[in-house]
Chain A
Amino acid sequence: MEFLSGFARTPAVFLGCYALGLVSGCTGTIGGGNGQPTDTPNGQVVPGGIGSNGPNGLSSLPTAEACQKRAIEPGPAPMRLLTAQQYLNTIHDLVGDVPSLASVFAGVNGDSALGFVQADVGQVEMEAFQKAGDLVGNTVSADATTLSTLAPCAGADKRSCARTFVQTFGAKAYRAPITDSADIERHLLVFDAGATTSYEQGIGMMVSAMLQSPRFLYHVEIGTTDKVADDAVKLSGFEAAARLSYALWNTKPDDKLTAAAAAGMLSSKEGVAAQVQWMLADARGQTMVRRFLESWIHLSDVDALVKDKTLFPQWDGSTLKTSMVDQAHAFFDDILGAQGGRLASLLTSTTVFANKDLAPYYGAATASTNFQPVQPQGAVATSGLLTLPAFLSTLAKPDESSPIYRGKFVREQLLCQLLPPPPPIVPKAPEVQAGGSTRDRLKQHEVDSSCSVCHQLMDPIGFGFENYDALGQYRSTDNGQAVDASGEITAPSDIAGKFNGVVALGQKLAGSKAVQECMARQWFRFMQSRFEQEVDACSMTAIVDKFRANDNSLNSLPLALIQTDAFLYRRPLDSKVSP
């Protein structure tokens, strides 16, 4: 059997107990509630966020009325690097296709486990920026068509042409106008060095230099002097445009949005909100909510999943992996489109899409490689995301299901509760008898109270998924025994109680206020690239209220977020707390 834990999220839990913590360090108390996330150098915080997890698992957000009386509070907005995808998208928008650029950038600026924590740059990254900058610069200077578009030069005064290029290209690359003459002159020194060879060379070198500038590589925000509260200022129009475009498109602003910024249309809350509709309708915006959901469930991990070759010979070298990912795309498109984006649909939808690879999952048959709705046969139960094969395969081991991973997902990603860390030193692992069902083997840990104190938070939820094996295929028996899919959500939770099977779990989750609030939190984290903090309480209230007012439609989240203090403003440079 081969085993590979290639994805950052999945812990190396090996039959449970010791890896998840026991005894003194693990009291069974779920974190996330003291409302005091801790700032670290890059503005990273301990997850857990605001409010307190009382016995019902709900946080205590202020009411909208209370927020009306509070001062605007944007929270911290530390400077971040473009992600690898943002880098590639932005280059594409600037100069078009650059062959093999992605390979130069492979492994650089990758999203972290949760996509939020960003280390400072290291030498390997710097070398990649240099190499990529040179590659783009050389591509531009070698291509007459691109060059004549970006840096046309008919006259004899080449340096004057280069000066124009600094301003036109620089404004796009830096997402801000370049007007300072000394600034322009600094760029032209690079041109001069290249122009001893040729005009093209000078332009290419400036492209490389500009793409290595922090003004290109980071989301640089200065803010304005226009105070909206003691500790909050408006963004400049160009900064607002960049926030909008990277949030909704994952790339730089286009000419239309830049023009809106230049015309002062983004200086008000209403002006910013007015951009959302057309931006989401644009091709770049249409997939953004889906991108959130796929990032949230780590869909891209499917590609690197290793499954046991003996038990699942169909896994390696077939199209099953790709089909699972495509099925997830189709599922999310259906939820967000035809089903109106409701959170309840995400968790309970019975519409299933399959092609020839996945039809057998549902007792159906088709020869088509395209995805079509199919009717599950027999006992095969479906409940939206919770029975999506890509989701279930990711949250499983190579050779068996994993009630731990699955229960943990529900606890951390759907209820937004943080499990306690394990103690520094664990007692000896309990002896576990081989054979029997996965459930039976995990249950043996319950006899050890030091194990069960934490596992009772996860395993009983995960047992509800036991009708689905390591590839997310429905089963009625596990290792010769009838599957027992009875489960329980233990307190703290607003949906605490027993349930039987994943359909019942889906119903419970769909009716949970905590899950609604958690989706709003996940959205905040995705869009703001940081965890919510106590100071974001009113931003969270605004999102949750708008989400609920729109029948908990995921499609309402972009606009809800964009109208929060956290999105619209930033702390001034001289803020008493960290900006």
Chain B
Amino acid sequence: MNRPPVVDSRTRISRRRLLRGMGATAVALTSPIWRPATAFGASAPGRAAKRFIGIFSANGTIPSAFFPSGTAQDSPLTFGRILAPLEAYKDKTLVLKGVHMISTIGPNKPGGPHMKGPGAMLTGGSLLPGSFSGAQGPAGWADRASVDFAIRERIGGTTTFKSLEFGVRTIGQEPLRCISYGGPSLPNLPVQDPWAMFTRMFANADLSSTQLKLLMAQRKSIIDFLKDDISHLKARISNSDKARLDAHLTGVAGLEQELNNAANSCTPPMMPAKIDPGALGNFATIGQLQTSLMVLAHSCNLTKVSTFMWSNADSWQFFPFCGVNEEHHGLSHSGDNDAVANEKLVKINVWHAEQVASLLDKLAAAPDVNGGTVLDNTLLLWGNELGVGNSHTYKDIPWVMVGGGGYFKTGRYLQYKDQPHNNLLVSVCNAMGMDDVKTFGIPELSTGPLPGLTA
């Protein structure tokens, strides 16, 4: 067996490259490599998004209720039943068909179909071999960095957190639970507990400015020690272990960034009394809480990049709050002609669209420190691990994009002929002002941005 391709040297966003970018951390934080999106490349000011939000939901869709009707390659948007809750944002929305997750397909690609999707959705890559077994086939984590990570490395250097990863009941085998990756085997697992996320976001909010100053001074001395300590240790250990220490050093840089940007302009909100974030019945409530925190993270400028997983891939969630008290994955395997089951699946997908609409409402109501509303400056990408649940197809993933800061010509339904989703990820990077990104994920799959998207 050949060694698996860890990262193709031709990949634009490889871990090696990112880590090199991170290497001289002290320099990085004071030198202008963290350019604001609008200053980078050729994008005209006002024609790029300044914030990115990636959304995941599970088990595919019901295409007939998701995709608008009609066969025109490029048509004005008319929502089907599933996306109807987004009606107020129709002018800002793009629905894409014919964009496939081809990077999950190929001989000897490890992992079952539900495992492959989340690993590929934002990376444009595949899963590594590994020992996460079970019915879904053995696999490891994804083999490269995801698009949210590429974006945060470009625009995330001035906020408290480079990125924040939210999730609701993301359980099960590891690769099912993660869409965000910093590199091969570098998962950024979502935080599922909103109270834990709140503690992260507002860690020092109860300190006086004197106390905060003291804490910052003390933490700085420890961070300086750690950087020094790691560099000395790195000189003594094997080459393969050095990569692990590089990841650790990146983490120390993250702590340093949190420290340097610790002053928080927002007053922490009151959190409700704690309930169990892992309980099946709390899914909707926890989801709303996490959504509110994510909006706050952006409006308080704690971060510019976030992802949100509505359950793990292969979701076994029940949806009594939309009248479907049945298990999602099981339902998703019903036959195409099972009208009763398909109606239930439509309801589940409508419910998810309602959650996205609720997020958009909040983003539209939140003023952005950059001016305008947070939504004005945000590109939201909503994807899924599969096209349809019962066939596990990687084709026609139900992609939705909202916003984009004026970079895309929105309000349209675009039907492509077999485009790799790698190209969609290139378009996402370009919309974030990263014009230099020409391929994303597995380079030989990626031919450039999706045609016909831009304004």
Residues of chain A touching chain B, judged by Cβ–Cβ distance below 8 Å, are 2-6, 8-14, 18-21, 34, 36, 38-47, 78-79, 107, 112-114, 116-117, 119-127, 130, 133, 183, 186-187, 189-190, 192-194, 197, 205, 208-209, 212-215, 217-218, 220, 222, 306, 408, 412, 418, 420-422, 424-429, 431, 531, 571, 573, 575, 578-579
Contacts and interface: CB of A to CB of B under 8 A. Distances in A.
A38 B232 contact: no
A316 to B, nearest CB: 12
Contacts of B316: 3-5, 12
Contacts of B188: 122-123
A41 B243 contact: yes
Given A18-B333, A421-B111, A43 B135 contact: no
A372 to B, nearest CB: 35
Contacts of A79: 237-238, 241, 244
Contacts of A113: 131-134, 173-174
B375 to A, nearest CB: 26
Contacts of B245: 214
A124 B233 contact: no
Contact of A78 (B6, B241, B247): B241
Q: Please report whether the interface of chain A is mostly helix, strand, loop or mixed according to DSSP.
A: loop
Given A5-B172, A11-B136, A12-B314, A123 B129 contact: no
A553 to B, nearest CB: 28
B448 interface: no
8 contacts: A21-B135, A44-B131, A107-B193, A116-B131, A218-B244, A422-B136, A578-B238, A579-B238
Per CB-CB distance, the 4 closest pairs between chain A and chain B, nearest first, are: A421-B137, A11-B135, A120-B247, A193-B221
Interface in B217-257: 217-222, 224-226, 228-230, 232-233, 236-241, 243-245, 247-248, 251-252, 254-255
Interface stretch (B81-89, B390-398, B432-440): B390-398
Interface in B318-350: 318, 327, 329-330, 333-336
Interface in B133-174: 133-138, 140-141, 161-162, 171-174
Contacts of A41: 6, 128, 184-185, 240, 243
Contacts of A429: 333-335, 390
A5 B105 CA distance: 27
Most buried by A among B186, B251, B327, B392: B251
A43 B237 contact: no
A19 B390 CA distance: 10
A205 B128 contact: no
Given A4-B316, A112-B174, A193-B218, A573 B130 contact: no
Given A9-B134, A107-B196, 20 more contacts: A3-B280, A5-B316, A8-B134, A11-B135, A14-B333, A38-B2, A40-B4, A40-B129, A43-B240, A119-B187, A127-B255, A133-B222, A193-B221, A214-B245, A421-B111, A424-B109, A424-B113, A424-B394, A425-B391, A579-B241
B367 interface: no
Contact of A220 (B136, B184, B233, B393): B233
B248 A214 contact: yes
For chain B, the bracket of interface size reads: 35 or more
Contact of B226 (A13, A209, A425): A209
B182 interface: yes
B274 interface: no
Contacts of B132: 8, 112-114, 117
B362 interface: no
Most buried by B among A4, A13, A408, A575: A4
A8 B174 contact: yes
B8 to A, nearest CB: 14
A122 B229 contact: no
Nearest to B215: A134
Given A2-B318, A44-B130, A531-B131, A14 B330 contact: yes
B27 interface: no
A190 B222 contact: yes
Given A12-B172, A113-B132, A114-B133, A39 B3 contact: yes
Given A12-B316, A123-B188, A117 B252 contact: no
Contacts of A573: 237-238
Contacts of B182: 120, 122
A4 B276 CA distance: 14
Interface in B383-410: 390-394
B1 interface: yes
B169 to A, nearest CB: 9
A127 B392 contact: no
Contact of B189 (A122, A213, A420): A122
Contacts of B112: 19, 21, 421-422
B412 interface: no
B104 interface: yes
A122 B187 contact: yes
B229 A2 contact: no
Contacts of B109: 424
Nearest to B200: A127
A133 B255 CA distance: 13
Nearest to B241: A79
A117 B130 contact: yes
A425 B196 CA distance: 38
A8 B113 contact: no
Contact of A46 (B131, B226, B238): B131
Contacts of B196: 107
Contacts of B110: 46, 421
